[in-house]
Every structure is written in C-alpha cells, then in structure tokens.
Amino acid sequence: MNGNGIERVGRIQLRVYDFEKSVDYYTNILGLDITARDSNRVYLKAWDEWDHHSVILEKSDSAGIDHIAFKVTNNDVLASLERKIEQFGCTVSRVSNRERVGEGEAIRFVLPTGHKFEFYHDIDYVGVPTGRLNPHPWPDGLRGIHPHRLDHALLSGEDIESTRRLFKEALGFVETEQVITVDGENLIATWLTTTMTGHDVAFIKGPDAKLHHVGFYLDNWYEILRASDILSRNEIEIEVTPTRHGVTRGETIYFYDPSGNRNEVYTGGYAVYSDFPTITWTEDKIGQGVFYHRRQLNEAFTSVFS
C-alpha cells in the first residue's frame, strides 16, 4: 500500500536500566538475535527480519523510548519527506551516516507529541537464517518467544490531533481506527498505517513523549498462548493474559521487560488498503474496543507509560 514511499516501521530504540538483565530478557525470553554492540547500545533483530536491526537497547537510568524510525524506499523519498515535514511546521535535522552501527543517514524531527521520529533508507542487509533459496518455514535454534518482526508501537502525548494530521496529510498514512469522546468533539486515540496491517504506529492521549508499548508479530493464536507459557515459566510480569482486541481484531498478550517497558506480542487483524475507511469507537465502549472479552480496561493499562 506504500504509495507514499514509506515502507514500514523499521526500528525502535528503547532506554533500559539493569542493562545486562535487559539484554538477557530480549535475547533469551523474547528471542531476538544480537547483531552488534557499541559502548552504550545493543542492536537486535527478530529472526525473520532481513535488515541489520529493528531494536536498539540503550543503557540508561530510566525506561522509555529514545526514538522510533520508519524505512523508506530510496533517498529521493527521504528528501521529499524532509520538505513535507518542514512545510507542516516541524524542524528537521540530519542523523549522520554510521552514527549508529549498521545505519546510513537519516532525517529526524519531533512530533507534536514530543517523540523523536526518524526516516531512513540505508541500513546494512544481513538476511535471515532460512536464506532465500528453497527455504524452510523457520530455522533451527530459535529461542524463547521468537517473534517474526517488530510490528508497531503505541505512543502517548497531549497533541494527538496535530500528530494525526501530520501523519495523514503530510506523510500519507491511513487512519484505520479512532477513539473519540461520546459527544464526538475530542480525539482519545488514533491508529495509523502505511502498510497493509491494522497499525504501524498509534497514539493515545496521555503524557508527552512516552511509550505505552512496543508490539512484535507472531504467527497465530497458538503462538500467543505459547508466549504466555514462556513468560510464566520465567516469572515475567504479565499484565494482560491472552485475549482479543476489538480495535484491529488482533489477538494479544501484554507484559513488561525488566526495566518496565511494556511489550506486546500480537497476531491476526485485517488487511488495509488505501481506501480503508476509519473505524470509530466511542469512549463509553473503549473497554470492549481494547479488550473485547472482558470489555473493561485495567487501571495500569491506562496509567502506566515509560
């Protein structure tokens, strides 16, 4: 669907403390592979991702998100997006080639919600363990939950109205779903995509520049149940046991990394095309929209951000 030249969510950089415990969690329990290290960061990818990394863990004294980035088709698209973002009113800066391991030049700007956001094209290609010639469906030696890929992130901020306008009008994203107040006057949450999935990034009304969760993709409902077993076996805090979303129709489980960053593994959902109409939920039905079976939100889900 990416007629705007924006391919997909490409990476997220998370701040973590208790650094080695966090690295152990992301490699042995979540099941990502380390591709590089530098003095303050570890670079990881899921087994089914072709590029050098999709997750960067940064040593910090607090949890949260440093930035999220989307990959574009070529450097001409990068230059075009730079102009559109500046015309919208955001200041754009350049991230130098090789400032981070495996990455080329990127453009960076700050969303109205306060999040640092990047677009890039150049990144080292490392491939997948199954290869490209007569591949098996999965490789040997997988660890932990082993998701296929980084899937999406939900971020919080006060000015989600302007942020939605930036993504739709300047960047060409499709808004798949929204939550509004019962009177229809205020936006509470928005789900946005540049691919054929239900959301690549979403925003919820809340504290600026915060992370609600980062989501990873699994094959099916059985894999969601298996993830729950792995988390319980390793005594990882599970916030929400396996269930279904009304919003996006996905199946899900939520849990926390050792620093308190909320993770999700996710499957299912619907296909999105450029003419997909926005689905609307009203605030009085938000419990059913988020957790379709229980039809109510737990307190932490609406109050805990990192």
Say whether 264 is catalytic: yes
Say whether 53 is catalytic: no
Residue 254 CB burial class (10 angstroms; 0-12, 13-18, ≥19): buried
Strand order in the sheet with 41-45: 33-37, 41-45, 55-59, 6-16, 64-72, 116-120, 106-110, 92-95
d(CA 119, CA 222) in angstroms, rounded, equals: 34
Six-digit token string for 126? 């490392």
Calculate the CA dihedral of residues 153, 154, 155, 158 and round it to 10 degrees: 150
Which one of 58, 177, 223, 264 is the catalytic residue?
264
Which one of 43, 146, 245, 256 is the catalytic residue?
245
Which one of 213, 217, 251, 256 is the catalytic residue?
213
Phi, psi for residue 83 in degrees, rounded to 5: -65, -45
Say whether 52 is catalytic: no
Say whether 67 is catalytic: no
Calculate the CA dihedral of residues 302, 271, 176, 15 and round it to 10 degrees: 40
Which one of 49, 199, 223, 251 is the catalytic residue?
199
Say whether 235 is catalytic: no
Which one of 115, 152, 175, 256 is the catalytic residue?
152
Residue the block writes with tokens 């929400």 = 240
Degrees, nearest 5: CA angle 275-276-282: 140
d(CA 93, CA 85) in angstroms, rounded, equals: 11
Six-digit token string for 181? 């107040």
d(CA 198, CA 215) in angstroms, rounded, equals: 12
Six-digit token string for 251? 């199946």
Strand boundaries in 111-186, DSSP class E: 116-120, 149-157, 174-180
CB 26 within 8 A of CB 69: no
Which one of 26, 43, 120, 254 is the catalytic residue?
254
Catalytic residues: 152, 199, 213, 245, 254, 264
